[in-house]
Amino acid sequence: MKAKTKELRITLVKSTIGSLVKHKATAKALGLRKMHASVVHADTPVIRGMINRISHLLKVEEVE
């Protein structure tokens, strides 16, 4: 039996205008294009690293 992986709901709460190019690219790679848009991703080390890079722009919640 497989263990269910956790999922994260990631919401862009601050604009990327004026941010570094790397930060804009990270938000786009997460699928966040507009303010207050949310996406759901599996909780993996890759996604966690992307969240850590732009944590000041995001709100992150665990989803069951």
- Judge whether residue 1 has pLDDT over 60: no
Query: What domains are there in the chain, each with its CATH number?
Result: 7-63 (3.30.1390.20)
Q: How many residues does the structure list for the chain?
A: 64
pTM of the model: 0.88
DSSP-derived secondary structure letter, 22: H
Q: How many CB atoms lie within 10 A of CB 32?
A: 21
How far is Cα 9 from Cα 63, in angstroms, rounded to an integer? 6
Q: How confident is the model at residue 3 (pLDDT cuts 50, 70, 90)?
A: low
Alpha helices in 1-64 (DSSP H): 21-30, 45-53
- Judge whether residue 4 has pLDDT over 80: no
Give Dmax over CA atoms of the chain in angstroms: 47
Read off the pLDDT of residues 5-54 as tens digits, 9 standing for 90 and up. Answer: 899 999 999 999 999 999 999 999 999 999 999 999 999 999 999 999 99
